[in-house]
Amino acid sequence: MNAPPPDHRIARRLLFGIPLGILLWRVVGVVSTSVGLVNAFVPILPTTIFLIIGVWAFGKGAPHWRERLLQHRRFGKPLRDWEDGGRVSRRGKVLAVVGISASWMISAYFVGLGWIIASLGVVLASLAIWLATRPLPRD
């Protein structure tokens, strides 16, 4: 008797011995976390949102990497606060709103006031208001 042909679907779902779905979540986590870490050293660019995305993606593809991020001495506390009901520190809120405002002012300065920049202002103001209404961390 002839052996059945190999199942190519299984071969396509593995890359470097890792299922493609897991590998995809790890790539998203690594890219997002890397962008967040670079942004930590670049003024006005967001850091935390990329780290939040990294924690989320690592939770699906590499739980041990997620735990390392959550236990990080610098970034762990804000990430844990976010996971505890979307909590943001007062300092985090102020810095984020200042960054959002600065981004809009820089855009308005270089592009000029028009309907696109005005629309961007409405979206960014909505984001700032939403962020300001997030609960504060528990003590």
Least confident of 11-25, 46-60, 92-106, 112-126: 11-25
* C-alpha closest to that of 33 among 1, 59, 12: 59
What average pLDDT does the structure give for the chain?
88
Q: Which of residues 73 and 10 earns the better pLDDT score? A: 73
Which whole number is the average pLDDT over 122-137? 96
pTM: predicted TM-score of the whole model, two decimal places: 0.76
Residue 11 reports pLDDT greater than 50? no
33 contact partners, CB below 8 Å, separation of at least 6: 50, 51, 54, 58, 69
Q: Which of residues 12 and 130 earns the better pLDDT score? A: 130
List the domain boundaries for the chain.
1-83, 87-139
The answer to whether 79 touches 51, Cβ cutoff 8 Å, is: yes
* C-alpha closest to that of 137 among 105, 74, 93, 73: 93
